[in-house]
Structure 1
């Protein structure tokens, strides 16, 4: 009888476990909205009273510019250009970084051979490569994609390499003793173990992907959010500058959401672990 009672209690506890997690998330989101509203309210009040409006503009004027861009189609057009550059470069750089990180992580000799060359390129500020890419590829979209991919590549590569090298050697040895081939070890042990490192690198790479796209547009472009930013600054339109920055932040949030959904899809056990941490 006691066993049945414990089983029932366990089921009820498992069913009610997500409730505290939902309540906690709701409180956090409400707190964030309160902080944002307070910040915008103080900004609106201080602009023109404590700080010259020319330097900081006003949230009301920024929203007015965003609304104008939204209804005229300007925002959608330029944001789609930047999103295409950032997302394509992010996927390309991330994919190559994962492949190279996995290969070098599984081949210590090759990693030691290429290490000084990789670190030399990694230590180079990637933005400094932009003029070179302009000379090679022109001022079209391919230049921005290449610059973005170059920035993302090293971040994902280093994380993937570290993740692959940190895989338990005992598990790999056991797989070898069981007669597993290299592809089996990769698919069953290495890749699942390194996914946390890979997604950590991808999350860090999101803002850098946008930096690559925006910098490329600032250097040479007549399209994209970087162009909107540069154009507004050239006209001393502070509200326009802040509106363009707000659009960049919104785009970064969407890219982060994309990476998070991808992580949930490819590493569902991470979500379960997070829920268990909150329900213990």
Structure 2
């Protein structure tokens, strides 16, 4: 076997061992940070801080177990997930369409750009009561709230991603008389993949925030509703239990988007 090939294989095995060791250290460190945080919280509750204000991890875990056993958790969780999923999908599709339209419409797109920025600057928390007046306290107002949280994050990533494309590639496509759809397929969307994945990662957090805010303002179900109801009853353990579920949902979807990113960007 040629020396170069033997050296290449040895380097590949070295990189594999380093990659596995890095992943082990990464996940072990994350577990250690989380575990130490919970231990510190448990120790501080009742010693340094009144448990009425911060509860404790053991009480929160007991409450979550009780919610699971009684089945009370699932209607709230499924309601929030439905709002989250529908709003994220609509906001992502709308942001992509808006970004493509403004980026490729030339001067006309520039007419609309400052108005998009003006809409982006509006606080969505202030719009939540308006959505309830328009659409009621049902699913529609919550999905609208989530979509408005997501659409601008996706729009700006798409818009900036298109502006970062090498103009020579677009000129070459025009010189070869490529249709707009072929230009999107072979040039635009491959270049936008990292931008879209970043937007999706941001959108996951924004979608959850939008769903919970809408439920806090007015709803009859959902994790935000459960947190608000617990707060009204001064049930701090219930508040932290709802927050724990929201955090778990966010971490789960962030992990899924991270796995999708590694798969789609494996060429890097």
Q: How many Å separate the matches in 2 of 1:167 and 1:107?
A: 16
1:202 aligns with 2:197: no
Normalised by the length of structure 2, the TM-score is 0.95
Which structure 1 segments of 5+ residues have no match?
274-280
Per-residue CA deviations over 1:142-201 (Å, capped at 9, x if unaligned) read 110011001101110111111011110011122222332222221111111112112111
Among candidates 156, 159, 162, match of residue 157 of structure 2: 159
Distance 2:256 2:146 in 1: 17
Residue 75 of structure 1 deviates from its aligned partner by 1.6
Query: Which residue number corresponds to residue 147 of structure 2?
Result: 149
Q: Is the 8 A contact 2:102 2:113 kept in 1?
A: no
Counterpart CA distance in 2 for 1:140 and 1:18 is 51
Deviation at 1:51, TM superposition (A): 0.9
- Once residues 253 and 27 of structure 2 are traced to their aligned partners in structure 1, the CA distance between those partners, rounded to angstroms, is 19
Partner of 1:118: 116
Distance of 2:34 and 2:257 partners within structure 1: 24
Q: 1:89 to 1:161 in 2, by over 3 A?
A: same
Residue 103 of structure 2 is matched in structure 1 by: 105
Q: For this pair of structures, how many residues does the alignment match?
A: 268
TM-score by length of 1: 0.91
| Aligned residues of 2:157 and 2:196 also touching (Cα < 8 A) | yes
Look up the match of 1:49.
47
1:182 paired with 2:180, answer yes
Q: Quick one: distance in 2 between partners of 1:111 and 1:200?
A: 23
Asked if residue 271 in structure 1 is aligned to residue 263 in structure 2, the reply is no
- Report if aligned partners of 2:95, 2:152 keep a CA contact under 8 Å in 1: yes
Partner of 2:218: 220
Q: CA RMSD in A?
A: 1.5
* Distance in 2 between residues matched to 1:257 and 1:45, nearest whole Å: 30
CA deviation string 1:212-264 (max 9, x = no partner)? 11111111112110011011111111111111000000111122233334434
Correspondence for 2:74 among 73, 76, 80:
76
> Aligned partners of 2:56 and 2:39: how far apart in 1?
10
Alignment check: 8 A CA contact 2:165 2:188 kept:
yes
Query: Shift of the alpha carbon at 1:71?
Result: 1.4
Query: 1: distance between equivalents of 2:152 and 2:253?
Result: 18
Asked whether the equivalents of residues 60 and 240 of structure 2 are also in contact (C-alpha less than 8 Å), the reply is yes
On the 8 A contact 2:201/2:254 being kept in 1, the answer is: yes
Matches within 5 A, 1:7-22: 7-22=5-20
Q: Which of 127, 136, 139 is residue 137 of structure 2 equivalent to?
A: 139
CA deviation profile, 1:76-131 (whole Å, cap 9, x unmatched): 22111101101110011011101111121122222211012111111111121111
CA distance in 2: counterparts of 1:56 and 1:31, whole angstroms: 25
Match of 1:30 in 2: 28
Q: Please state whether the residue corresponding to 1:51 is helix, strand or coil.
A: coil
Do 1:44 and 1:60's aligned partners in 2 also have CA atoms closer than 8 Å? yes
State whether residues 106 and 165 of structure 1, in contact with CA within 8 Å, keep that contact through their aligned partners in structure 2: no
CA positional deviation for 1:136: 1.0
